[in-house]
Amino acid sequence: MSEEKEKRRLRIAMFHCGFVYSGGGERIVLEEVMGLRFLLPLVIMLLNLYLVYPLFTGEYTQFPGSIESVFLADAKFIVENFPHISWHPFWYLGFPFYLTYQPVLPFTLALGKVLTGLSLSVLYRALAAIFYVLGVVGVYFLVRETTKKQGLSFGVVFLYTLLPSISYTFTNTLGLQAPWRLVVLTMFGEGPHIWGLAATPFALLFFIRLVNFPEKRVNWLLSLAFTLFILLTNLTAFFGFLFLILLLLLVEFARGAAKTKFLISFYFGLFVAGLASFWYNFSFLKAGFEYGIGEGGGLLSGIYKNPVFLLVILAPLIFLFVSVGRVLLRRKPGLYGLVLGVISFVVLFFGIYGWFRYNLALIPLPFRTIPRLIPELELAFALFLAGLGTLIISFFAKRKRLIEVVLLGILIGGGFLLLPSQVNNMRELIRPHSDFVSTSEYQVSQWLSKNARGSRIYATGTHAFWLNNFADVAQLRGGKGGDFGGLNPQWAHLTYQLYYGEDGELAVKWLKALGAKYIVVNFPESKAYYHDFKDPYKFERLLREAFVYQGDTVYEVPLKKESLALAVEKERLGQVREIADLSNGLITLAQERLDSYLAATEDNPATRNLSYLYPKGSWSRLEVDLGDFDPGREEVLLRISHHPGWKAYQDGKRVPLKEDPIGFILVEPKEKEGKLTLSFSPTMDVFLGYLITLGTALLSIVFLRSSAPEGLANNLREEEEEDRQREDEEA
């Protein structure tokens, strides 16, 4: 390369405009230089950092209704209990910790806390800002990959940064103007979704490269890394990514070499599934499918909601899209970005639009997941705009440079018009809370920390979300997002009676049966975001007020037996049938059975409180002092969710352990004296997940070190050549 060319290559400039006279015509030349490749994403990054810099200040969100509190509580539990984190005692009567949520965000926060000493809430806000910015930068790289046009990509993403959400065209009940992804991050606290969204464009970008250049190992490694990051961070983000990658695959199939690309995708999917098995083990998947993965209402709920449209209409429509895309890509391969942008945006837009306007599942995803994919819709809209740009440029081939400059000017000009108002809109959303200590969530948590330690309580809404950030108090419910970790179904029955039941005495009976000492009730004047109780006044004549603050009341439940461990009469409890009756094919909660359960436990004068402790700071090990125990007449009831991972020992010998009528643990010690020890360890399916991940990692290494990637590349080139010959013959 000549010295002159080298100087031009290293020159950093946005673009250089000059007049070139050729054939009597005048055109503007956009001169791209080496520095532009790195300068443009840097500008995008700095702009977004400027917009969200308040996230680097303050500690707590101004929206207590945000569920970021749940992820902070998860991270706090890890920091305070690692490595003894197999059992989570504070939510849902206890459950395995790996059922709380995907691991990336809470473990990253916990590690950050250990390394920096900063508070978890400060770290959460700072990392949220970083991933938000990286997500926008990622969109630039993805658009550039699909259009091969730096200037157009910069203009589209500059506008994408500032443009109000496209979803506001059909739903904007909050009257907002900021991008919805920022609303999701701040008002709703879905930090994991934004983390996953940040990796989505990178995962799509490297997957495009993978199916076209499988011989390059870096494409395999980066595709797997970003995809696993999404899968292990947030299921909503993963469902959005999965849907986009399936549409991308259809476009790639239309491009040619469909068989080999399918084979590459198949290997890729196997590697992802195997590498994620350490967390997505059988227990996690079973709980997820039973509850509805990611609160999505069930994996196939979208299909159940509208099977005729999905199977009879949507499939042919997508086939039509792909067929048209194939014709376009044959004639103009440069319109790849247009085809991908159109199919992604149109399908997602009408899928989400149909959900909001007609309560329909127009795309085959978990039903309640569909409206949460608006951030992915915004990404698809950026691809759509970029695709339109490439189409417009292709119409004016002779004045391509001029059109590129005009489009760039329009896009950047539109962004600058939005900039002043959006700075205010976005920063208003992300400013920190000015006085979180004065909130009811904090004050109630502090009171419970002082008065309810060692007891169980019931809290709902934001008080449940925030409680375990400030207090190590066990609650019958817990943080949103961990609901499918609730092993014991009785908390859900209790919740129904508390919120909607008209019989206050029945609700109190449920509280007693599940061992709750206090309940937090939100009255109409409460400032809490959620007001779940249909009739909060039903507790006034039944329970004693223990603490009142800003319209929220902590009531004390008159428990006779407050201990987590009870010695109960074996024969009396053995006569109690399961509370849930399935004999007629329907779930029926028989009140007389609840009464008999209380009579055998809480209200039985023969029932005794037993002392217990968690040794060595481990919540997965419990020692119970049996006292004057009668093994022939008594058994030990532990108010902990039954799980096959629990084992009981007396003097080093295993003793029988079973489930009681409402899902607690029952142990039958054989000896009159000696301590009863219970220990929890993950079940075999969890260890099987570890082995699958380890085996898949080794297999991946062998695969990448072999000649298999080159073999796939050779097959790909041969199939592409066959496709070209077939097209020539057809032409």
What pLDDT is attached to residue 454? 85
Q: C-alpha angle 663/485/68, rounded to 5°? A: 140
Per-residue pLDDT reduced to its tens digit, 62-86: 998 888 999 999 999 999 999 889 9
CB contact at 8 A, 557 and 516:
yes
Domain boundaries, the chain: 3-59+119-429, 436-556, 565-682
Token pair 């995809």 is at which residue? 227
Q: How far apart are CA 409 and CA 388, in angstroms?
A: 15
User: Exposed, middle or buried by CB within 10 Å (0-12, 13-18, 19+), for 350?
Assistant: middle
What pLDDT is attached to residue 652? 84
Q: How far apart are CA 244 and CA 407, in angstroms?
A: 26
| Residues forming a β-bridge with 544 | 556
CB contact at 8 A, 637 and 660:
yes
What pLDDT is attached to residue 321? 72
Q: Give every CB contact of residue 662 below 8 A, 6+ residues apart in sequence.
A: 488, 490, 513, 514, 578, 579, 597
Q: How far apart are CA 370 and CA 353, in angstroms?
A: 10
Token pair 């709380």 is at which residue? 100
Q: Helix 684-705 crosses helix 258-275 at what angle (to 10 degrees)?
A: 140
Q: CA gyration radius for the chain? A: 30
Residues of the chain with pLDDT under 70: 1-36, 290-314, 480-487, 579-590, 730-731
What pLDDT is attached to residue 17? 38
Query: CA torsion angle for 599, 602, 603, 607 (degrees, to 10)?
Result: 100
> What predicted TM-score, i.e. pTM, was given to this entire model?
0.89
Token pair 């902990």 is at which residue? 640
Number of H helices, E strands in the chain: 26, 20
Q: How far apart are CA 141 and CA 207, in angstroms?
A: 13
Q: Is 615 left (phi over 0), alpha (psi -120 to 50) or beta?
A: beta
Residues in the chain: 731
Q: How many other C-beta atoms lie within 10 A of the C-beta of residue 725?
A: 10
Q: How far apart are CA 140 and CA 157, in angstroms?
A: 6
Q: Quick check: helix, strand or coil at residue 486? A: coil
Q: How far apart are CA 49 and CA 55, in angstroms?
A: 9
| Residues forming a β-bridge with 554 | 520, 547
- HEC secondary structure over 400-447: HHHHHHHHHHHHHHHHHHHHHHHHHHHHHHHCECCCHHHCHHHHHHHH
Q: How many other C-beta atoms lie within 10 A of the C-beta of residue 32?
A: 15
Question: Tokens in use for 48?
Answer: 């977004």
User: Which amino acid makes up residue 592?
Assistant: E
What pLDDT is attached to residue 400? 82
